[in-house]
Structure 1
Amino acid sequence: MRKIAFGAALLAAVSMFGTVPVNAANTTSGRTDLSLYVANDPVYTVTVPETVALSATENTQVPITASDVKYIPEGKKISVTLDRGNGAFGRLYLEGTNEETGKEYMMTLYVKGTDGEFKMGALENQIKGMELASFTEDGTMNYELRPAALDYPDSTSDNLVIQKGVHYSGYVTYGIELADIQ
């Protein structure tokens, strides 16, 4: 009776755990191989330019570089996004003042990231969070900026014409994180 109970218990254990069969009649011991692995934390350096001089006549390429990229989990990427621009509500403008007249000007910028479409920086819901570059290994990607004036060459609006003698300025703040590859 004892052998039947032991055999039933062994059969239940084998079916539940899927272990390697052991001949109980000829063996007095068994073995289980154990392992433990914890993946390294992701490591990377993202470099963005400190300053960029925008062109008044064509699109400006803005480089973002990822280097020392290691241990990025499968299915993930380093995503660099536009967190916010210098304008109200995170919009992206260039602003400047004519030194001779004191008149202030504002120029909206268009931004093109990884989706390949230009989006207007005057609409924070279009640009905030947009992906500008992504990496799974070392490399450089460019996103593009262009003044709205390039889209309105015959405009009479002061803010849609690049004014001579006005030093425009603005800034971009980036978000950098690991994101799912879609």
Structure 2
Amino acid sequence: MINQVRGYKQINRQYTIAFTKTQIYSHIEFTNFKCTSMAKDVADIEYCFLKSVNRTYQYLSTRIKVLKLLNSLKVNFGLHQQINGYKPFLYNITIDGCQFMKNTKSNVVAKYFYDFIRNISNLNHSCPYNHDIIMEKLTSETINSRLPKTLPFPTGNYMFQTYWIANEKYRVVTKIYFCHY
């Protein structure tokens, strides 16, 4: 009755729509992992490697020896896409690591990336840091299980780069290279 008052007519038609089921998923594969210490008297890289156990199982591990007390820690992280070199893509954020560790809900983007390494690293408290920073066995499976099924960015080669700024100076750079397909 309401539809007739507004000038609508109800028309019954039958449509046959054919759907094909296709599986869409996002998948990443690590290609390289580099760590560089810019101040070996403050932080030195004990190891930093990508291990490919077989074609489907890969992991990253690193251990950064902290040689001096770190009272402040800032982290700049960015995602870069390879297009005639690596160009900034999607994120380039600097956070105060000490404040973030006190309240991990303060930055949603940083929390998303922190959740990848939360269970496999010893970065679980706020400043000061006076011990080695360890991340053991970040697997490509871990990353793939946390990615949405359909990622809103194109396939290709990417780099996730972090600058670790301790006591107001650049100390360590890490670069994770991966292929998204």
TM-score (norm 2): 0.33
Greater C-alpha Rg: 1
Which structure: greater strand fraction?
A: 2
Higher RCO (CA < 8 A, seq sep 6+): 2
TM-score (norm 1): 0.32
